[in-house]
Amino acid sequence: MAFDGMATPLGLKPGNGQRGIPSSWRWGLLALFVAFVLVLTAISGIRFGRSSPEAGAVAIIERMGVGVGSTIDKDTRDAAGAGSNPLTASRSGAAEVEANSGVNVIRQNGGTTPGGMVIKVPESPERGSAADPRVSERSALGVLPRVSDSGLLPRLVYARPFLGTLKPKIAIVMTGVGIGARGTSDAITKLPGEITLAFAPYGRDLENQVARARRGGHEVMLQVPMEPQDYPESDPGPHTLKAGVNTRDNIEKLHWLMSRFSGYVGITNFMGSRLMTEAGPYGALLEEMNRRGLLFLDDGTAPRSRTQEIGKKLGLAALVADRVHETGGSRSLDTLLQEAEDLAKKNGSAILTVPALPANIDRIAAWERDLAARGLVLAPVSAIIGRATR
């Protein structure tokens, strides 16, 4: 009898002078085993709080560290056939396997055979990413900023908190951050968090650098290359936004630049003395920035820039820097800092853009130490360009 063989200890043949388990015991053990299985089934239902076998399968997969999604495996789709329900087809296949096994399975409440499901693991954000999912969207190029469904603006979500004050405010924006390792590290660690850091799109490990800067309290901007008057003799780099190309090409380049990292309140230019004078192509780019809930800072290097004119028409939060310190320029940083103080006292605020070179960073760190004693305060750039919602 087959059951006799199952009851014989491993390594011993039945009928070799070894008594098997008495028949009455065998049926008792079988009944005990069935009861044990039923108890386990009941405990599983209580533990996972499931109302269906499919939910139980999902719970177990979740406990293994797999996220829940709605994607059905390709092989399952193929087996189901075009136009059929893949989950129903996989359930039928599971039922057939179960029936052919010769095992009679009894489920609570008349449950059906669970279908085979493949759970899609959600893509984890890039390492170090500062993207807030409420104001982000994934594109073919990467993560882009957007206005949330409830109207949240990235320029507000990523802004450094700032308490209103009647004291004159100065915003300093360090440009070209992310290019030089020392300048980037010094800007993040030596400067107070109220100073805004504008990252160039060509640096390495930008997501982690930006995340580090934001952890240090710094508000962040994206610096984008724009066509100068003497292009290509002066070349801002790959993906330069140009005056002589169609709008679609420029927008695609802008999206590539925007996807380099996340967490920025807005955009500032790098060069651009030609593009920024052309209302058509420049206006289309500013409109896209506005549509995505960003602010814009004109760094002040393009004397005939149409930023103010176009920005006002679009309702874009935009300003032109009051002073700009240019590498190799004739005016010293000390002179420009003093002028920024004078303008802030006269107008209530001033914005100064400065390249993130180690010497500049050290000078600004020293200048800032006794700024409060002179009756002024540092402010992130968003506190001056404005936080008015749409």
DSSP 231-266: TTTS---TT-B-SSS-HHHHHHHHHHHHTT----SE
Question: CB of 221 within 8 A of CB of 381?
Answer: yes
pLDDT (0 to 100) of residue 330: 86
From residue 145, how far is each of 72, 179, 196, 291, 294 by CA, in Å?
A: 30, 23, 19, 10, 8
Amino acid at position 312, single letter: K
Q: What is the mean pLDDT of residues 94-114?
A: 49
Between the ranges 50-59, 63-72, 109-118, 206-215, where is the mean pLDDT highest? Answer: 206-215
What is the C-alpha to C-alpha distance for residues 173 and 267, in angstroms, rounded to an integer? Answer: 11
Q: What is the mean pLDDT of residues 332-360?
A: 97
Question: CB of 194 within 8 A of CB of 160?
Answer: yes
pLDDT (0 to 100) of residue 6: 35
pLDDT (0 to 100) of residue 165: 87
Does residue 33 surpass a pLDDT of 60?
yes
Does residue 151 surpass a pLDDT of 90?
yes
More confident residue, 52 or 148: 148
Q: What is the mean pLDDT of residues 24-42?
A: 58
Percent of the chain with pLDDT over 70: 66
Count, residues in the chain: 390
pLDDT (0 to 100) of residue 56: 35
Q: What is the mean pLDDT of residues 167-171?
A: 97
pLDDT digits (tens, 9 = 90+) for 36-94: 655 555 554 444 333 333 333 333 223 223 333 333 333 333 333 434 344 344 444 55
Confidence class for position 204, pLDDT limits 50, 70, 90? confident
Look at 15-29, 134-148, 154-168 and tell me which has the smallest mean pLDDT.
15-29
More confident residue, 355 or 104: 355
pLDDT (0 to 100) of residue 253: 98
pLDDT (0 to 100) of residue 38: 59
Average of per-residue pLDDT values in the chain? 78
Strands 377-378 and 169-177: parallel
3-state secondary structure 22-56: CHHHHHHHHHHHHHHHHHHHHHHHHHHCCCCHHHH
Does residue 294 surpass a pLDDT of 70?
yes
Does residue 325 surpass a pLDDT of 60?
yes
| CB-CB neighbours of 59 under 10 Å | 16
* Domain annotation for the chain: domains and CATH numbers: 2-110 (no CATH), 133-385 (3.20.20.370)
Confidence class for position 351, pLDDT limits 50, 70, 90? very high
What is the C-alpha to C-alpha distance for residues 328 and 247, in angstroms, rounded to an integer? Answer: 34
Q: What is the mean pLDDT of residues 228-252?
A: 95
Confidence class for position 23, pLDDT limits 50, 70, 90? low
Question: CB of 211 within 8 A of CB of 129?
Answer: yes
Q: What is the mean pLDDT of residues 259-268?
A: 98
pLDDT (0 to 100) of residue 74: 38
* pTM greater than 0.75: no
Q: What is the mean pLDDT of residues 326-345?
A: 94
pLDDT (0 to 100) of residue 111: 53
Percent of the chain with pLDDT over 90: 63
Crossing angle (nearest 10°) for helices 358-368 and 181-190: 10
Confidence class for position 164, pLDDT limits 50, 70, 90? confident
Positive or negative torsion for Cα 157, 162, 168, 174: negative
pLDDT (0 to 100) of residue 24: 55
Q: What is the mean pLDDT of residues 338-352?
A: 98
